[in-house]
Amino acid sequence: MNEKKLLFLVNRALIVLAVALILAGLFFDQWRTVLRNAILL
Amino acid sequence: MNNQSIWKWLGRRRGIVQIISALTLNSYFTQHVTKGIPCPALNCYACPAAAFACPIGTIQHFVGRKKFPLYALGVVGLVGALIGRASCGWFCPFGWLQELVYRLPVPKLRLPNRFNWTRYVVLAVLVVAVPYVTREPWFCKLCPAGTLEAGIPLALLSADIRAMVGAMYWIKIGIMGALLAWMSVTKRPFCRWICPLGALWSPLNPISSFRLQVDQDSCIQCDRCQQVCPTDIRVYENPASAACIRCLECMRVCPTDCISVVSPGP
């Protein structure tokens, strides 16, 4: 596998991982925690 | 108009993007909804006008409560995977401030990037380790962006907060003052040696969707790129450098047009 293709795959894997983290955070209601913490400051 | 011309055109208007970004991140009216979203920049969410959450403040909040900051790290990771540190160059109000202060006509001090690993130490110690142990957001307590955007305005606006001013407040003011002085003589010192958000994005620079490429055959190594670079790097030595903030200033001044924007493709 050449370096260009490897970079592409790592980039896409990272995007998928980041989206999965965001969805998991939303599932655990972290959005509300972030909002409450920010509003209370 | 080819792809490179579009990027050069956009690069010439970076200042406008920085103004729009600073205004959007501090647009006040939407804050009761949008403050639940970490912004792609170091912008203090204690600022009375802040419309979004600070990603570093949010991460510390979760770390202090012994919870994994899934959501905040996801947002930071997504931004990093898409554009690397371009947020530092285009959207961060504190980065913009540093560029403005550096324009002051005072003697300049060039410092090598050799010790810029210190931002990883700030991330590990002040954003993760100390908040985990003390349950307090220690980076926020010392953050100069927080002092400028929240500490000073809140003290000016509220007599109750003015009454609470103590030694810690003056330490914060001292840090901010020292950094402002440093900004006037050295290019973007906070981004290069201190910023923990930059430390999170730096390792993603080589693998982000938005990257720079240098045609080594055309490059004449005139170092004009380094002269205008806000982080003082030679882009031809490593176009995927962890210090690069993708501001495209190098592309704008390159006499041989050897720098281009690329995306990883299959």
- Residue among A14, A34, A36 with most chain B CBs within 10 A, to mutate: A34
B140 touches chain A (CB under 8 A): no
Contact in structure between B235 and B158 (CB atoms under 8 Å): no
d(CA B103, CA B97): 10
Which pLDDT score is estimated for A3?
A: 83
Which pLDDT score is estimated for A4?
A: 85
Find the CB nearest A8 among B32, B54, B265: B265
B183 touches chain A (CB under 8 A): no
Provide the token pair at A27.
């599932």
Which pLDDT score is estimated for A40?
A: 77
Q: What are the pLDDT digits (tens) for B176-187?
A: 999 999 999 999
State the amino acid at position B166 in one-letter form: G
Q: What are the pLDDT digits (tens) for B114-172?
A: 889 999 999 999 999 999 999 999 999 999 999 999 999 999 999 999 999 999 999 99
Q: What are the pLDDT digits (tens) for B11-23?
A: 999 999 999 999 9
A31 touches chain B (CB under 8 A): yes
Q: What is the mean pLDDT of chain B?
A: 95
Q: What is the mean pLDDT of chain A?
A: 92
Residues A20, B74: C-beta atoms closer than 8 Å: yes
Residues A33, B46: C-beta atoms closer than 8 Å: no
The residue extents of the domains of chain B are: 3-205
Residue B1 has pLDDT above 90, yes or no: no
User: How many Cβ atoms sit within 10 Å of the Cβ of residue A26?
Assistant: 14
A-chain CB neighbours of B33 within 8 Å are: 35
Which pLDDT score is estimated for A1?
A: 66
Task: Provide the shortest C-alpha distance from residue B213 to chain A (in Å).
Answer: 12
ipTM: 0.94
pTM above 0.90? yes
User: How many Cβ atoms sit within 10 Å of the Cβ of residue B136?
Assistant: 12
